Structure 1
Amino acid sequence: MSKERIRVGVIGAGANTTSRHIPGLQAIASVEIVSVANRTPASGQRVAQAFNIPKVAGHWSEIIDDPEIDAVVIGTWPYMHARLSIAALEAGKHVMCEARMARDAAEAHAMLAVAQAHPHLVAQIVPSPFTLRVDKTVQRLLAEGYLGDLLAIEIRAGGQFLDKDAPLHWRNDFDLSGFNTMTMGIWYEALMRWVGEAKAVTAMGKTYVKMRRGDLGLLKAVRIPEHIDVIADMACGAQMHLQVSNVAGLLGAPEAYLFGSQGTLRFCDNKLYGGQRGDKQLAEIDIPAQEQGGWRVEEEFVNAIRGRETITHTSFEDGVKYMEFTEAALRSAAEGRTILLPL
């Protein structure tokens, strides 16, 4: 259903929300951000002043319960995503939820079930941005048979040395982040756009600093790996190796390879390279203007509300798939066995 005037409430105004979502939504005609709730009233007031938001909610429930609000942007840490998304959808509000989708697969499935029970509402997860520029070109080349049979996939992301003295970040706090591990889920989501999902996962991970200091200066155990290697049997027939590391100093820029029977594709530094049997080396592949993708998350969200397009980046259905992969990887590392997907 088309709805020209859209009133948005923001719950959790972190870096991505203030740098991307709020400016992006405010740039769209007839979209108003009318209320914000943050971790503290003071931080909410700072965001409201910076972006001319008229109301600061004392509690997130005020935004959920406000009958004048049409849509909710959820920018909190993952531990609140399921609770807030479900509450907003049940209150009749469209939802844009920050990545990662939830803490675990069970929460993600609960979010999807509620979204499916309210099909007239838009439910979007903020997408992995890494490969947006080249996705359509990679998809086309695969469809045209550039690689022949896809045989193996190699993804590596790291480049920094271990920081033993860093305080406990929310991304390393299992209570706040759940099974989400560094950029592992972000890369897997991008890979799914190219080749689909995995059907079996085997992983080994390592946490080198067992305890870090939290906000109050007290030590807390760290359960999230600082280095992980994941081997996956992909439904497309390829074998995938994904390494994500916070200890691989000087590794270089993250990169992804697709190896086929007739060709190779490499993605690195937002560029795509390729070569086929008989070539001496990889060469940069031009990304046609009509295939170049980019960040349009807020535009897609609003267009979906107005009935002009369907959410593709990223649907709750795809969010569930990457949450299952993420949980399977950590379960495999902890239990020393292969985990079959879907969970």
Structure 2
Amino acid sequence: MSAARIRVGVIGAGANTRAKHLPLLRAIPGVEIVAVANRSRDSGERVAQEFGIPRVAADWREIVGSGEIDAVVIGTWPYLHAELSIAALRAGKHVLTEARMARDFAEAQAMLAESRRHPHLVAQIVPAPFSLPFDATVIDWLENGKLGAVREVHATFTHGALANPAAPFSWRQDFALSGKNTLFLGIFYEMVRRWLGRDPESVVADAAVFTPVRRDEHGVAHDVKIPESVTVSGRYADGARLVMHLSGVETSAPRNEIRVNGSEGAVRADFAAGELWFAARGQPEQRVAIEPARRGEWRVEADFVDSIREGKPVRLTDFASGGRYMAFTDAVWESWSRGGTRTTLPE
């Protein structure tokens, strides 16, 4: 692999940026993190000191406009992903943006359209991570007919972080910051679509906000618009069903899994345990031992650099794929907000 120098500017150094992007980019030969812009100058200074970043920018425009930066990593909340990605691409810079892709499908469309105007630039979204160890195995099984005809897909992710009405209001519940992104809906749908390679024709959704007003860490009250529980039923063109349930108010036994039921067998990915299970039709479920060479892992930063240096296509996750999970997110939002009306995914 070429070790061509890549100068990176970081906009928004949140938890995942500090835990993953900054240390893993620094570990790649020839990659230099040359500037950071955070929500405040003080927080930017702290990040710069921790990771040895030589320059703290006054704001994101200084990063995007710099002639000394080749690539931009966007670690902000979703409300800035579209504006920053589009500005960076127009400035001739490669982009790696944190998930979720944007606040809604319209913003995602704008990002995708801009990326297509600059095909020589890398435009990548941080992928849904839970299924990475199992993707290659499950996709092979689906393509080779081990499961037979897909009949049902069940995706479930529940926890109790929102069960307490006194739990503080966070950016994930702030419509201005997160838009239509609901719980981990987009993350789980991205993994389902990665396996199946297609979208349902339509969805029906129901959702609820159980605590309509929450106070933030400063005691300020906020109206909660983003659901704390959502259930989705989708129908594929071949008759297969998609059932998703995500909840922030389940306190007894949190669940974190995707199941695919086929005519010849079923697969269950238990993300909490890090295990993959298979059951042939009529047989008991058995745990699958995946060979190390077939077991995927987090390679976000390395893949981003490889795409820049070698022109490798972005797989996890390109803007087109991100646009499809935002289309699904929009359709779910429209369905539940209209009382469970059957809704088709926007194109």
Instruction: Give how far 1:259 is off.
Output: 0.6
CA RMSD in angstroms, aligned pairs only: 1.4
Pick the aligned partner of 2:214 from 190, 212, 216: 212
Unpaired runs of 5+ residues, structure 1, are none
**What secondary structure sits across from 1:171 in the alignment?**
helix
Residue 319 (structure 1) aligned with residue 322 (structure 2): yes
Unpaired runs of 5+ residues, structure 2, are none
Letter of the 1:166 counterpart: A
Partner residue, 1:329: 332
Count of residue pairs brought into register by the alignment: 342
Residue 109 (structure 1) aligned with residue 113 (structure 2): no
Aligned-partner Cα distance in 1 for 2:114–2:155: 34
Partner residue, 2:301: 298
How do residues 38-57 of structure 1 correspond to structure 2 at under 5 angstroms?
Answer: 38-57=38-57
In structure 2, relative to structure 1, the CA distance for the partners of 1:21 and 1:235 (3 Å cut) is: farther
Residue 154 (structure 1) aligned with residue 141 (structure 2): no
Give the TM-score, by structure 2 length.
0.96
Instruction: Give how far 1:291 is off.
Output: 1.3
How do residues 1-343 of structure 1 correspond to structure 2 at under 5 angstroms?
Answer: 4-160=4-160, 162-196=163-197, 197-214=199-216, 216-235=218-237, 237-268=239-270, 269-279=273-283, 281-336=284-339, 337-343=341-347
Instruction: Give how far 1:308 is off.
Output: 4.8
Letter of the 2:248 counterpart: N
Percent identity (aligned): 48
**What per-residue deviation string (whole Å, max 9, x for no partner) do you get for residues 109-166 of structure 1?**
0000000000000000000001000000001111221111100111111132602101
Aligned-partner Cα distance in 1 for 2:292–2:313: 22
Instruction: Give how far 1:290 is off.
Output: 2.1
Contact 1:201 1:328 (8 Å CA) reproduced: yes
Aligned-partner Cα distance in 1 for 2:309–2:249: 45
Contact 2:331 2:346 (8 Å CA) reproduced: no
Instruction: Give how far 1:59 is off.
Output: 0.9
Instruction: Give how far 1:286 is off.
Output: 1.7
In structure 2, relative to structure 1, the CA distance for the partners of 1:43 and 1:317 (3 Å cut) is: same
Contact 2:64 2:87 (8 Å CA) reproduced: yes
Letter of the 1:124 counterpart: Q
In structure 2, relative to structure 1, the CA distance for the partners of 1:27 and 1:235 (3 Å cut) is: farther
Aligned-partner Cα distance in 1 for 2:321–2:245: 21
Aligned-partner Cα distance in 1 for 2:119–2:67: 19
Aligned-partner Cα distance in 2 for 1:71–1:85: 11
Instruction: Give how far 1:217 is off.
Output: 2.4
**What per-residue deviation string (whole Å, max 9, x for no partner) do you get for residues 278-334 of structure 1?**
31x200112122211010000000000002521100000000000111111111000
Aligned-partner Cα distance in 1 for 2:209–2:249: 10
